[in-house]
Amino acid sequence: MTDQVLISIDNGVGRIQLNRPKAIHALTTEMCDAIIDALLAWRTDESVLAVMLDHSEGRGFCAGGDIAMIANSARGDCSEAEQFFFTEYRMNHLLFVYEKPIVAFIDGIVMGGGVGISDPARYRVATERTTYAMPETGIGLFPDVGGGWFLPRMPGRTGAWLATTGARIRGTDCAAIGIATHYMASDKLEAVKARIIADPDGLGEILDEMADVPPPSAWETHRDQIDRLFASDRFEDILAALEADGSDWAREQLSTLATKSPQTIKVALRQMVEGAVFTDFADNMRNEYRIGHHVIRRPDFIEGVRAVIFDKDNAPQWKPARPEDVTDELVDSLFAPLPPEKEWTPLPELRG
């Protein structure tokens, strides 16, 4: 057991509390293993009625995975990175198919891996402190941890906008989009958690009763522009639409997209198309594991992490540097199946 995640049972509520505050609770392989072990044990424990997922002290729910470890592994044989993704995606899938109700309190920074552990929960509670993003195009990775499933199922073209730009949205936006099932002031959370622990069977009713009406959402203001300007599944078409529009908002999106990995944006757009037609979440995760296996071996990932995480110069030199140089053949190669012994599989307990 690791102290990076605190696991307990309190009056029928299985509690999973992320506990790496200095790293904004970024996930490690050990944390994913611990969460899997707890969830599997609670599946067959009749005394556990619900699961509560939150974080200990600090300003973030979960800022993602341990990107520095993944990048260091990618410089070598990639084995440690592959083990992390394999385990993390098994955890994502287990959360998605879990039979007992899960409530995730996404109070604070929710990015990448944090999205992956909260989006599958039946109940997702956002607050005024919530900042939600899938920022992977900025580090040359791709929107994984179930992004291929969740993003295309958001209203209109919202998922394509979030996936390509890495836009950071607030708790009010999460409520409006449907990312969050409930919105409430952060100073209510301890009282809400105490009530749930006192009455686990009343989880849904307690959240409904304690929820606040969210303030207006900035996303609502731009929803028509998002649907119109990000309508295409081709990156070049999106850029052309934004350039033709010429509004301040469109110029902001162009400026943002110019800093992102063209390869990653094209991967993300293809991922949205494929993910939208999957009917089994496991198929989506198998697809994402294939992409991850290939993408970490490409130059953009190591360069993106160098620029954003290590050197912090925020000046990545992408290869290819231009959207038109990211060929269909290159994108195809990043979705290629793996040898059977290397393919991702769900946990043995969930097969059949």
**Number of residues that make up the chain:** 352
pLDDT tens across 159-172, in order? 999 999 999 999 99
Q: What's the token pair of residue 248?
A: 């301040």
Residues near 346 by Cβ (< 8 Å), separated by ≥ 6?
90, 93, 94, 282, 285
pLDDT tens across 94-132, in order? 999 999 999 999 999 999 999 999 999 999 999 999 999
Is residue 347 within 8 A of residue 38, CB to CB? The reply is: no
- pLDDT at position 352, please? 60
Quote the CA–CA distance of 122 and 110 in Å, as a whole number.
17
Q: Which of 139, 125, 219 is nearest to 173 (CA)?
A: 219
pLDDT tens across 72-96, in order? 999 999 999 999 999 999 999 999 9
Buried b (16+ CB within 10 A) or exposed e, 64-97: bbbbeebbebbeeebeebbebbbbbbbbbbbbbe
Q: Active-site positions?
A: 65, 113, 136, 144
Q: Which residues pair with 15 in a beta bridge?
A: 8, 52
If the chain, 352 residues long, is cut into consecutive pieces of 10 residues, what is the mean pLDDT of each piece? 90 97 94 98 97 91 91 93 97 98 97 97 98 96 97 98 98 98 97 98 98 97 98 98 97 98 98 98 98 97 93 95 97 98 97 69
- pLDDT at position 351, please? 78
- The 3-state secondary structure of 267-309, one letter per residue: HHHHHHHHHHHCCCHHHHHHHHHHHHHHHCCCHHHHHHHHHHH
> What is the model's pTM?
0.97
- pLDDT at position 1, please? 54
Alpha helices in the chain (DSSP H): 29-43, 67-74, 79-97, 113-118, 147-150, 158-165, 171-177, 189-198, 203-210, 218-229, 235-245, 248-257, 262-277, 281-295, 299-305, 328-334
CB atoms within 10 A of CB 168: 15
Quote the CA–CA distance of 38 and 16 in Å, as a whole number.
8
